[in-house]
Structure formats: structure tokens, C-alpha cells
A and B are shown apart, each in its own frame.
Chain A
Amino acid sequence: GENVEQHPSTLSVQEGDSAVIKCTYSDSASNYFPWYKQELGKRPQLIIDIRSNVGEKKDQRIAVTLNKTAKHFSLHITETQPEDSAVYFCAAIEGGSYIPTFGRGTSLIVHP
């Protein structure tokens, strides 16, 4: 089955800095890669996703990049704000399935 590794487990930045979270996956058949954000005490919510036929996708201050050859994808947050503080989960889904395999999560702390 699929295995997703996520790093770092904790990331601390100053407000205004950029933050990058990296994930690797094992199954070359995976073709959909969502990112979920879970604020403290709240439910995870999808913030951005990318499919394997696209190398990069942006949505305002967040972007996701995908390197299929290396089997890794990354979340980039620019101009971080305190409200970006949360746990971020990456996931990979194998083509033909819709069951995501999640990484272990990254706790992002943005200091004002």
C-alpha cells in the first residue's frame, strides 16, 4: 500500500516568513495529493490539492508543487500570518481509489 512521509513534524516561523512542508510518497500510481489544515480544536479542512498531470498550483498565499519523478510534493505558504498556525496534513490517493493515505502532520507555529 501507499506510504506517506511528512516533514518536518514541527515548524516555527516569524510572521511574514515563508513556510515549506514536504511530503514523499511510495506508490507511483498515486495521482491526487490534497492538503488539509486543522486549526486547534477544529476539524481538518481541505485547503489545496494537486493532480499528477500538474506540476504546480497556487491559491493566493499558498502553493503546492509536485515532482512525480522524485515522488514528492510540497506545500508553500508565503507571508505567513498568525492565523496560519495549525496542523497541516498531506495525503496521497492511488489512481482508481479514493481512500487517502495521510502523512503524520506538521504543526506550524507563526509567531507575531
Chain B
Amino acid sequence: DGGITQSPKYLFRKEGQNVTLSCEQNLNHDAMYWYRQDPGQGLRLIYYSQIVNDFQKGDIAEGYSVSREKKESFPLTVTSAQKNPTAFYLCASSIGATNEKLFFGSGTQLSVL
């Protein structure tokens, strides 16, 4: 293991609170992604970034925000607008446009208090 690190492993959110999930990679990958995993729902794309200072919405971006100020880092903020945030969140990276293989982090389980 190694290469792409997510923290924390577990996170609890209170009503009306924003929380930020960390994702760091040292693989020198250009592309990074955030997926949400719910039981029986597979992996759904929240946001992705192909290059520093640029990111695109995925299929379920509402209630989430991201930034990509550094190549190594792609933090995800779950805002209070996300009414059902309880899920397992996976960050991934890939070399970029020339290689589609994803490398995943170990995930963050977010729960609502």
C-alpha cells in the first residue's frame, strides 16, 4: 500500500457542518478523482481533476466542493447542502489521458451524528 493516502479513516459530521476529506498522492499522477460508495450503488463519481487548478463535476456533485491547488492534493469538502452524506468516500488517481488505470486510496467512512 502507499502512493495515495486518504485521511481520516473515519469522520463524523454534525448537522449544518462542513467537513473536509484529505487525499494526497505521491505517484506524480495528473488526474485525481472522488467517488462515493453506497451499498448496492457501486462507485459514483463526485468530482475529477485532470490538471492542477482545474476540476470537473461528476454525476453527483451537488453538496460537494473540491480544490486542486497542488498536483499531489485533491481535498473534498462535504457541505451542509449535502443532505445524505453518510457513505464511504474513495479517492483515486491515474496517470492521465494516456492511461486509464485507477489507483485508489483506502477510503474515508463519513457518518452523521
- Chain A interfacial positions (CB closer than 8 Å to B): 6, 9, 32, 34, 36, 42-46, 49, 89, 93, 98-100, 102-105
Residue of B1, B96, B100 touching A34 (CB-CB under 8 A): B100
Main secondary structure of the interface of B (DSSP, over half): strand
A98 touches B40 (CB 8 A): no
B40 touches A104 (CB 8 A): yes
What are the 3 A-B residue pairs with the smallest beta carbon separation, nearest first? A104-B42, A43-B104, A102-B43
B106 touches A46 (CB 8 A): no
Q: Complex formed: what's the CA distance from A71 to B99 in Å?
A: 22
CB-nearest residue of chain B to A98: B100
A-B contact count (CB 8 A): 47
How many chain B residues touch A (CB < 8 A): the figure is 23
A100 touches B100 (CB 8 A): yes
Judged by a CB distance under 8 angstroms, whether B48 is at the interface is yes
CB-nearest residue of chain B to A10: B40
Q: Nearest-CB distance from A97 to chain B (Å)?
A: 8
Which residues of the partner chain B approach A105 to less than 8 Å between Cβ atoms?
Answer: 40, 42-43
Residue of A34, A45, A99 touching B45 (CB-CB under 8 A): A99
Judged by a CB distance under 8 angstroms, whether B23 is at the interface is no
Contact sample, A vs B, 29 pairs, CB 8 Å cutoff: A34-B101, A34-B102, A36-B102, A42-B106, A43-B1, A43-B104, A43-B105, A44-B43, A44-B102, A44-B104, A46-B101, A46-B102, A49-B101, A93-B100, A98-B31, A98-B96, A98-B99, A99-B33, A99-B45, A99-B48, A100-B100, A100-B102, A102-B35, A102-B43, A102-B44, A103-B42, A104-B41, A105-B42, A105-B43
